[in-house]
Structure 1
Amino acid sequence: MPQSFAQLDPGLGLLRHVALLAEGGAADPDELDLLARQIEAGFLLDVAPENVWPEFSRGLMGAAPGRMLHYLHEIGALEQILPEVDALYGVPQIAAGPAGVDLGLLIEAALDDAARIGAPVSVRFALLTKDVGKSDSPREHLPAHYRHIERGEPRLLALAERLGVPQECRDLALQSLHECERAQKVSRMRAGSLAMLLERNGAFDAPARFDLFINVCACDYRAYPGRSGAAWPKARLIEAARLACLELDAPPRDIEALREARAAAVALALSSCGES
């Protein structure tokens, strides 16, 4: 480990070293073996959870956060600092093939895509944690994950509290846990349901938060095999629906009337997009 890490707690220095290894490309297997032995020797056992986040988030904001996560999992460090995320490795997620895709590998790919587009830490944390309720989905239903949101919310909140994660990261992660899968299905939604999805996610009153959520959804989409670098196809529909709602000539003051007007505007927009 470089001498420049001498001022750090050994465990925190190890985390920084792994992040730098990831940015350097493929790591030497012997070096990973050494790091694994250091984990086994207890390098992380005395690190306070609240001290993990500043160092981990530094790597999360690096150029190769997915590879960093992979190395942390491989050497046994992820199990100690983020057991909720580590438990997702080996769990299948529905994809094109009958066997599904390993959730851990999907998270790695999503994080690297977030780095590619320069996404902020809140987007990366959301991608890291939004699926934590899927680790113990009933085996007979895999690769489907029924009721994972109910399981995931308390885990995500406990994880964020333990590490002292900033509130804006917690909020976007929780929003993504509840809404990302819905956003991936917008082409099958009724116009009223799509208008409500826009409302819930800040499209009308919190556009900056809405844009971050859209980034989460797009990175999540591109994480799947064969989609690297592709445009998220649902983004066009969502933006058309959002603009249709914002362009209402005289929006009603009554909330229910406003929602009805938005639904009608969305229906017209989807029809023009060939999605009616």
Structure 2
Amino acid sequence: MNIYLVGGAVRDQLLNKPYKDKDWVVVGATPDELIAQGFKQVGADFPVFLHPQSQEEYALARTERKSGHGYQGFSVDFGKTVTLEEDLIRRDLTINAMAQDENGNIIDPFNGQADIKSKTLRHVSNAFSEDPLRVLRVARFAARFHHLGFSVATETIALMKQISESGELTHLTPERVWVETQRALHEQSPWIYFEILKQCNGLKDTFTELDALFGIPQPEKHHPEIDTGMHSLLSLQQASFISGDGDVRFAALMHDLGKAKTDQAKWPQHIAHEKLGLKPITQMCDRLRVPNQYRELTLKTCEFHTNIHRAFELKASTILKVFKQCDAIRKPERFEKLLQVCQADAQGRTGLENAPYPQANYIQRMLNACNSVNNQDIVATGVKGPELGQAIEQARIDAIQKQKDKENINE
């Protein structure tokens, strides 16, 4: 029996990056032999064992053969005769297909170290194309390592295109698509994930509604980048500089889905795209089982982002209406995230990346003024019934107007 450290821990050591998780491969053993040594079996599809002390995962070396559709359509062999190289060749990228023995020696049969030096994400073998999930995984690794200068090898992009065009991505479960996407949204350069999916034609079967935005024009005066799909990626890029929250980043990317539904005869204008975007966002979130936190922020941003952009033009009563419809008084944290998305939208335009966005602080001050109204003070006046609600609303409008007047004086 021989045990090797494999995968991300080996890769990240060579990249001088910190790592927490360690994965181990056991060569020349059976499940019974590991169990006899105190390991606990936890794998359902193939034997994975938890070490009795460290609780780290140990997997028997295995081979896989395609036997169906999707990422689960494999028959697995984990017999004692499976070699380390046979185990490593089934992995996705060369930089993930290295092992380290107990003496610290690197076993690198597929030149992963050379690809680390050249900053290349390259598939290990043609078996790569048997697992459609790898299209998303490679895109996610591209998002993770983009800031280090890594790019996807041309021949790997070509294989990813073959997988995408074969229709195999449609066999991925919504849960797997979302898990990879949510992880990608938290990488350092999440926009690269979607760029790579677009490049290999993988966006149409995963994020159909987003794919539909590419090629749709916007007014050059307001959007120098013109293409709506490009604007969506630029908005995600700006959101990733503003916030590390996945829901903020997702909402920035998806807030303009309605522009694929506007009247083509009126392009590059997109009248009422705020309302038109609600249905495709809902459809996408339903299909991929996107968490409510992501769904709700994206829907609110879609519907109200142009109101926030025009904040200086809004009457006090309209500002309060926006607050109520966004549930800003009850959910101030989510509203603050909505303002971050609006800033990312405004700055997600070519040449305007560093443009100030005073609307966010302005509308936040209006919300603070609105929240300064003490409902109990109004109750103490003896107002009751429907008149109480009207009195509270008027007090909030007056507080917002007072703040507006104050800011106008200061100008």
TM-score (normalizing by structure 1): 0.89
1:172 aligns with 2:321: no
C-alpha separation between the residues in 2 aligned to 1:260 and 1:94?
Answer: 39
Question: What residue is the counterpart of 1:192 in the other structure?
Answer: 317
C-alpha separation between the residues in 1 aligned to 2:224 and 2:238?
Answer: 23
C-alpha separation between the residues in 2 aligned to 1:258 and 1:94?
Answer: 41
Shift of 1:37: 2.4
Question: What residue is the counterpart of 2:378 in the other structure?
Answer: 252
Q: Which has the larger radius of gyration?
A: 2
Question: What residue is the counterpart of 1:10 in the other structure?
Answer: 131
Code of the aligned partner of 1:112:
Q
Of the three residues 340, 361, 367, the one matched with 1:236 is 361
C-alpha separation between the residues in 2 aligned to 1:149 and 1:164?
Answer: 22
Question: What residue is the counterpart of 1:138 in the other structure?
Answer: 263
Shift of 1:261: 1.5
Question: What residue is the counterpart of 2:401 in the other structure?
Answer: 267
Shift of 1:249: 5.5
Q: Relative to total residues, which structure has the larger helix share, 1 or 2? A: 1
Of the three residues 277, 281, 287, the one matched with 1:162 is 287
C-alpha separation between the residues in 2 aligned to 1:191 and 1:71?
Answer: 44
Question: What residue is the counterpart of 2:341 in the other structure?
Answer: 216
Q: How does 1:107-146 map to 2 (within 5 A)?
A: 107-146=232-271
Shift of 1:158: 1.5
Query: Retained in 2: the 8 A contact 1:244–1:266?
Result: yes
- Structure scoring higher RCO (CA < 8 A, sep ≥ 6) equals 1
Query: Retained in 1: the 8 A contact 2:248–2:340?
Result: yes
TM-score (normalizing by structure 2): 0.61
Of the three residues 159, 163, 171, the one matched with 1:34 is 159
Of the three residues 131, 137, 140, the one matched with 1:19 is 140
- Over the aligned positions, Cα root-mean-square deviation in angstroms equals 2.6
1:194-232 deviation line (CA, Å, top 9, x unaligned):
122123223321111111211111111111222324442
What is the number of equivalent residue pairs in this alignment? 276
3-state SS, counterpart of residue 269 of structure 2: coil
Q: Relative to total residues, which structure has the larger strand share, 1 or 2? A: 2
C-alpha separation between the residues in 2 aligned to 1:99 and 1:106?
Answer: 9
Code of the aligned partner of 1:252:
I
Structure 2 unaligned regions, length at least 5: 1-91, 98-126, 380-387
Question: What residue is the counterpart of 2:21 in the other structure?
Answer: none
Identical-pair percentage: 25
